[in-house]
């Protein structure tokens, strides 16, 4: 028997005697969670969700402009849902149990410092096998383009324009945008594609495929990022979204305009992009405090 949101709502109504308002609130929260899961990996079952995915979802909702109070309500619904699944034997563990809700103040986004990204891409010795070549290409792709994990996973070869150095990205609600890339990523992609086509039995048109030639899944891409970032940072948070944050922070630190970064990231509102200005300001405050003799 698989776990379903409908079964949970029936449980709330007929066994817990919950109000219809409570059911509606939980339905809204789980609907948003379902939409997020389908974005990162279409068809992902509730049973496949782990703690990291729930944390990423919470962070995603905060970035989308939700208040901490609203997001805590979403998390409450997820926790109730997985408690229900655990009691019924529909899941082996409860991934939401140990997830903490956001504080009232929005936390600054995690990002990897430029020097650490440069060390990872330039100084770490990567192997020449397909797995190492693919891993480095994925890391560089995220860092040079700032795309979301779901956007990277959904890319096909045909969406990469090597002549003009740009990719056609399909973002949320199927909105498309063009994102440029530089010579380093161009050459890295060409090397990866040549090795991929030589060594892997491709089963689809995806740009990034696993060892069986199938389009990579979110959990596979996440593991690549987590393992790779672990080579240069001890941060607990090491996800594709951290590389998106790192891209935005690096761009703003190097004098890119806020509106340009907004367009590159595919943010509908510039207010969402402004969180990265807070990050760069925090860095400036540290520099000031350390450098000024009377600070």
Give yes or no: 34 in active site. no
Catalytic residue among 13, 25, 172, 177: 172
Residues 6+ apart with CB under 8 A from 259: 270
Give me 110's structure tokens. 């995690």
Among residues 196, 222, 244, 245, which one is catalytic? 244
Angle of helix 68-87 relative to helix 51-63, nearest 10 degrees? 160
- Concatenating the DSSP letter of every residue in 234-257 gives --S--SHHHHHHHHHHHHHHTT--
Catalytic residue among 60, 196, 241, 245: 241
| Burial profile 125-138: b = 16 or more Cβ within 10 angstroms, e = fewer | ebeeebeebbbbbb
Q: Which of 60, 79, 134, 148 is catalytic?
A: 148
Q: Is 172 assigned a catalytic role?
A: yes
User: 216, 217, 232: which is closest to 130 by C-alpha?
Assistant: 216
Between CA 217 and CA 206 the distance in angstroms is 11
d(CA 179, CA 155): 12
Q: Verify whether residue 186 is a known catalytic residue.
A: no
Q: Is 16 a catalytic residue?
A: no
Give the residue from 91, 88, 56, 48 showing the smallest Cα distance to 75: 56
Q: Which of 36, 74, 218, 276 is catalytic?
A: 276
Residue reference for tokens 């890339």: 181
Catalytic residue among 79, 215, 238, 267: 267
Q: Beta partners for 166?
A: 161, 180
Is 244 designated active site? yes
DSSP-derived letter for residue 204 is: S
| Residues near 229 by beta carbon (within 8 Å), at least 6 away in sequence | 112, 120, 139, 235, 238, 242, 243
Active site residue 82: no
Cβ contacts of 262-269, under 8 Å, gap ≥ 24: 263/177, 264/145, 264/146, 264/177, 264/179, 265/146, 266/148, 266/151, 266/169, 266/171, 266/172, 266/175, 266/177, 269/65
Positions marked active-site:
148, 172, 241, 244, 267, 276
């Amino acid at each position: 028997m698989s776990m379903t949101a409908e079964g949970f709502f029936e449980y709330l109504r007929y066994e817990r005697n919950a109000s219809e308002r409570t059911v509606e609130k939980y339905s809204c929260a789980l609907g948003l969670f379902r939409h997020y899961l389908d974005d990162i990996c279409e068809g992902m079952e509730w049973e496949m969700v782990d703690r990291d995915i729930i944390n990423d979802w919470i962070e995603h909702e905060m970035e989308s402009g939700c208040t901490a109070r609203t997001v805590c309500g979403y998390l409450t619904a997820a926790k109730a849902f997985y408690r229900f699944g655990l009691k019924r034997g529909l899941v082996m563990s409860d991934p939401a149990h140990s997830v903490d809700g956001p504080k009232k103040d929005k936390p600054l986004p995690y990002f990897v410092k430029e020097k650490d990204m440069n060390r990872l891409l330039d100084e770490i010795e990567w192997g020449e096998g397909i797995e190492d070549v693919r891993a480095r290409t994925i890391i560089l792709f995220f860092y040079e383009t700032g795309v979301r994990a779901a956007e990277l996973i959904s890319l096909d070869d045909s969406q990469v324009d090597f002549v003009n150095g740009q990719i056609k990205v399909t973002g949320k609600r199927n909105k498309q945008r063009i994102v440029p890339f530089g010579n380093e990523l161009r050459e890295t992609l060409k090397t990866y594609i040549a090795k991929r086509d030589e060594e892997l039995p491709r089963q689809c048109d995806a740009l990034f495929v696993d060892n069986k030639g199938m389009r990579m899944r979110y959990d596979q891409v996440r593991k690549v990022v987590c393992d790779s970032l672990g080579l240069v940072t001890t941060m607990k948070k090491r996800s594709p979204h951290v590389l998106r944050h790192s891209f935005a922070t690096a761009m703003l630190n190097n004098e890119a305009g806020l509106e340009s970064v907004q367009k590159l990231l595919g943010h509908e509102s510039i207010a969402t992009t402004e969180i990265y200005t807070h990050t760069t300001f925090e860095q400036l405050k540290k520099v000031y405090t350390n450098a000024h003799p009377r600070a």
